[in-house]
Structure 1
Amino acid sequence: MKKGLLILSAAVLLVTACGKKEEVVLEVAKKPIEVVKVFKEEVSDVYTTDGSLVPQEKVDHTLETQGTVASVLKKNGDFITKGELVVKFTDLKVESSYEAAKFNLESTKNNYEKFNKLYEKQMVSQLELLSYKDAYTNAVADYTSKKSNFDKLTRKSEITGLIGNLSLKSGNIVDANAVIFTVVDENMMEITVDFPGYWLSNIKEGSPVIVTVSDLGGKNFNGVIKSINPIANSETKKFPIKISIDNKSRDLKDGMYTKVVIPTQKRNGLVVPQESVFIRDLLSYVYKIENGKAKRVEVKTGATVKPNIEIISEDLAIGDLVVSNGIFGLSDGDEVTINNDTK
């Protein structure tokens, strides 16, 4: 290319008989560029916020009574199914109460069944039978209560997923209601963010969003709006919305920080390729071609619809030519040569 070269149009210096010299005429080469036409495209305003990922299902498992760890059958990161045993506890008081209730149940049941047969043979009165029946009924209730406490000494998972927060060892004493382990189902992840009321009518359940995860090198994930709370947060005055993200890849983890981009109002806007816009002194510009010259035009940028970007300027209209390639080294007022077909 002859970009930036000076061409000598009159290379011969003529000397007149009077000793005078003719002027040397220099011509600047035209800058080669490629251009595109400004066009209209449907764009969306976007609302950008941030939040932390949580699994759609996450259960903290606790022990309602104090217990001593007898054995730990799983470790952090293990995949477990619903109902699978994780930790066994011992509690002498609970265990002895359960065994006593179990023995009492069997005893009262046998007595009731025996006297019921005698009553059928009219060998005992109804009043005697009812006393044994009442004893058996009370024993059933007592056994059910004691068994419930006893069963809690063998803590099982309430959902299918990955186990975490498990740091118990045999002999550890666990207080009542303390979290002993957590199970998360990572197949679907969620983020809850606050959304401004003036755009609320422009979104709905199922609307798409883009989630960017910085912990994964800025990787993007597609999400959808799962629910919209119609009641504003009393502090932020914004409306909480819940976003759901498919995570069958298992890349997303509980607590990862994300940036959430939510498209809002759709409209038609003027757009150009993103590479047509350049920055000078923190302002955005494009080069518009007029009469074979590059004219620098300040623009405001709007929504991004990759690979294009919305531009806003009173000096631009549909069909105007702007530079898409060759911006580097180009200056306002430079004469240009268009090297591509713009039809």
Structure 2
Amino acid sequence: MKKVTSILLICFLLLIGCTSKQEEVVEREGVKQVYTKTISGSGYTNKLTLSGNIVPTEVVKPSFKIPGVVSNILVNEGDVVRKGQVIAQMDQSDYAIKVRAAQAELEAARLQIETEIPTKINQTKAQYELTRLTYDRVKALHEEGAAPQSQLDEISAKLILDENTYNQAMDAKVIAETKLQMAEAALDLANANISDTTIYSPIDGVILNKIMASGETTSAGYPVVVIGQINKVWAEIGVPDEYINTLKVGQKASVYIYGIDQSVEGRIDEITFLADAKTRTFPVKILMNNPDRILKPGMITKVDIQLSNGEKTLIPLSSVMHLSAGSAVYVYSDETQTVSLRMIETGEIIKDKIEVLEGLTSDEKIVIEGQFLLRDGEQVMAEEMVE
């Protein structure tokens, strides 16, 4: 029984000895044990770390300008395409018929204006000029009393009729010229429709998505494929509003891509001035070169952007006491082995440290553990903490 009691007593003493050093206040001969740290200027780097994903720098969705049946799609997802390369074709049968019809109308209009119209004009002009000469003779005879009034009236009416017929022939020429222009425009449109039965890639890129298949009927403007420019890509992130004004276009960023376990250097290329309605963050795009196309759209990234760096007086955040009068720390004196309460002015919080703007100088020692049970001017046993 005594042996069991001894074992329990030993375990209890070991348990007491394992108490956290930060929570323990050791009193030796009535003097409290504290832990101190010497103040010095600290270099720091303040950076913004956000997750994002890879997106193409340019995305286009080529489509046919006219409706019809897709006869052939010449690319597959993942294919690399060049600007001007044929992507897809449409059945041309109906549009070829329209081209032939437009050509026939153009030939008819051209033939009319080259043969029929000139002949009609020449005939009516000759008749009009002949009638006018006759009118002049009858009028002269009538004035001399050699021709009756009825004969003059008859030739006058015929002159007016022949003049109107001649004017109609001239108007018919203008109408025929207009019809010729319309026929030319109709042929141009028919030929354009034939051209629009083939889709060419508008950019150098990669086929990201194949939407249509051969044999499907498509309407004008409906995308057939999706092409992305990925020789250069963006890492798109959402930046909270408190940081958005600290970023600038051209600023460098380090982008870690989880899928390939690599970090790539990039720079801020675009900063959106309108927050996303759902996330309430501002989209920012980091531009990266991707000549080997190892960065794929949709890959998850971690983006580090350095906001500021330099040297400041930084102390552990846990060493600061927040009193009614303000922030304070205990300063330890090696000469007197006592602590004194010191009011300080604090600044920026950087990770687990806080900036001291006023109240402390380099090489002073502050209490970083055990300070909450101290009194101003109290003598203590101090142990320097070394990082």
Distance 1:72 1:230, change over 3 A: closer
Is residue 260 of structure 1 aligned with residue 261 of structure 2? no
1:160 corresponds in structure 2 to 204
Q: Give the aligned partner of residue 194 of structure 1.
A: 238
Which range moved further: 155-164 or 230-239? 230-239
Question: Helix, strand or coil for the counterpart of 2:210?
Answer: coil
State the shift of 1:189 in Å. Answer: 0.7
Task: Select the residue among 226, 234, 247 that pairs with 1:203.
Answer: 247
Return 5+ residue gaps in structure 2 as ranges: 1-38, 127-165, 315-333, 335-348, 365-382
Misfit runs of 4+, over 4 Å: 109-125, 167-170, 310-314, 316-320, 333-336
Letter in 2 for 1:191: A
Equivalent residue number for residue 135 of structure 1: 179
SS of corresponding position for 1:62: coil
- Residue of 282, 293, 306 corresponding to 1:239: 282
RMSD: 4.1
**Partner letter of residue 263 of structure 1?**
Q
The separation in 1 between residues aligned to 2:280 and 2:75, in whole angstroms, is 44
1:191 is paired with a residue of what secondary structure?
strand
Which residue of structure 2 lines up, in the alignment, with residue 281 of structure 1? none
Give 1 or 2 for the bigger CA radius of gyration. 2
The equivalent residue for 1:41 is: 43
Q: Which residue of 2 aligns with 1:83?
A: 84
Q: Which has the higher strand share?
A: 1
Residue identity opposite 1:41 in structure 2: G
Q: Between 138-147 and 52-61, report the one with greater CA deviation.
A: 138-147
2:224 to 180, 187, 190: 180
Match of 2:100 in 1: 99
Distance 1:93 1:263 in 2: 61
Q: TM-score, normalised by structure 1?
A: 0.60
**For 1:193-250, what per-residue CA distance to the aligned partner results, in whole angstroms no more than 9, with x for missing partners?**
3322222332111011122111112x11112111222333344443332321111232
Q: Structure 2 length normalisation: TM-score? A: 0.54
Distance in 1 between residues matched to 2:113 and 2:312, nearest whole Å: 85
Aligned to 2:55: 54
Whether the aligned pair in 2 keeps the contact of 1:115 and 1:132 (CA below 8 Å) is no
Letter in 1 for 2:54: L
Equivalent position to 1:150, from 169, 194, 210: 194
| Count of aligned pairs between the two proteins | 254
Greater share of helix: 2
CA-CA distance at 1:135 after TM superposition: 0.6
| Secondary structure of the structure 2 residue equivalent to 1:171 | coil
Gap runs ≥5 in structure 1: 1-36, 272-290, 292-300, 304-309, 321-332, 337-343
AA matched with 1:233: D
Q: SS where residue 253 of structure 1 aligns?
A: coil
Q: Identity over aligned residues, as a percent?
A: 23
How far the C-alpha of 1:90 sits from its partner, in A, is: 0.7
